[in-house]
Amino acid sequence: MLTRVLAGAAALAATAGLAAPAAASEPPSGPETQVVGGTRASQGEFPWMVRLSMGCGGALYTDQLVLTAAHCVDRTGSDSSITATLGVVDLQSSSAKKVRSTYVYRSPTYDSTGGDWALIKLASPVSGIPTLPIAKNADNNSGTFTIAGWGAAQEGGAQQRYLLKAEVPFVDDQTCQSQGGSYGELKPDAELCAGKLDTGGVDTCQGDSGGPMFRRDEAGEWIQVGIVSWGDGCARAHAPGVYTEVSTFASDIAEAAGKI
C-alpha cells in the first residue's frame, strides 16, 4: 500500500483521534514504546516541530512560515482553514500556541517532476520559537537522521497526543529503488530514503507527513534534510520511508518564502 494517497484519510483520522482524547492520552509504557519504533521527545527538544490540523506535521521555517508536504495541502492560494499548533510536545497542553493559516504555497513541480513540499503562512509571526534551517546542499544527505511526529505509532494505528521521535539510517537511491513496487518510481533527485532495510521496525507513518527529517550538521546544529512524504506501509522491512530531498528544493523554497 502506497501510503501517500491516504493523506486525506490520515487527516480525518487525526481529527477524530484528537477529538477523542482517550484514544491517544495513554503515555507510553517504556523506552521502547512507539513515529513507529520511537520514544517520547522531551519538551523543547525539537522546538520548531509543528502539528497541522489537517493531520500533518511541519517545521517552523521562519517566524511566520511552516514548511510541510505538498500532499498535505490542496492548492496554492489564500487559505484560513488550517490551524498550526506550536511550542508543545503535548497537543493538549494549555501552553500550546495555536495560529491560523492565511495562505498556502504548494510546490508547483509536485505533480510533474516531484518536490513534495509546501509553505503555510501563519496569520501572525510566532515569538520565542526557534526555526529549523534547511539543508542548502547535499553534504548532510547521508548518515543517521532523526524523525519526529504525532502520527501513528504503528501501521494503521491512532494519531498520538505526545510527540514521538526516532532515528533512521540513510538508504541510498539505488538500493531504495531496487526494493521494487512503488520504490521503482523513486525520483532520485527529489527524494531521499531512510529506514532499517533488513529489519524494519522504525519509521514515520500516517500523520507524520510534512514533518521534518533532520540531523546535526558539521557545526553541530540541527538541519532539515527531508520532509515526510511516503512509504509502503510503515516500518516494514525492505520498505524504507521516502522523504522530500530538501536540498534539491532549498532555493525554490527560499524564493517562494520571499514572495508570500
Least spacing, CB of residue 211 vs ligand ARG, in Å: 8
| 179 or 247: CB nearest ligand ARG | 179
Using CB under 6 A as the binding rule, whether residue 84 contacts ligand ARG is answered as: no
Using CB under 6 A as the binding rule, whether residue 17 contacts ligand ARG is answered as: no
Q: Which 209-248 residues touch ligand ARG, going by CB under 6 A?
A: 209, 228, 230-231, 234, 241
Indicate which residue of 116, 203, 208, 232 is catalytic. Answer: 116
> From the list 101, 204, 244, 247, which residue makes contact with ligand ARG (rule: CB under 6 A)?
204
238 is catalytic: no
103-109: Cβ within 8 A, 24+ apart? 103/77, 103/78, 103/79, 103/260, 104/73, 104/74, 104/75, 104/76, 104/77, 104/79, 105/76, 105/256, 105/259, 105/260, 106/70, 106/73, 106/74, 106/75, 106/76, 107/70, 107/249, 107/252, 108/76, 109/252
Using CB under 6 A as the binding rule, whether residue 179 contacts ligand ARG is answered as: no
Angle of CA points 3, 64, 18, to nearest 5° = 45
71 is catalytic: yes
Q: φ, ψ for residue 151 (rounded to 5)?
A: -75, -175
116 is catalytic: yes
Q: Where does 63-143 show beta strands of DSSP type E?
A: 65-68, 77-78, 83-86, 97-106, 118-122
> From the list 114, 151, 157, 200, which residue makes contact with ligand ARG (rule: CB under 6 A)?
151
- Tell me which residue has its CB nearest to ligand ARG: 231
Least spacing, CB of residue 102 vs ligand ARG, in Å: 23
Give the count of residues interacting with ligand ARG (CB under 6 A): 17
Active site residues: 71, 116, 209
Residues that bind ligand ARG (CB under 6 A): 3-4, 7, 10, 151, 203-209, 228, 230-231, 234, 241
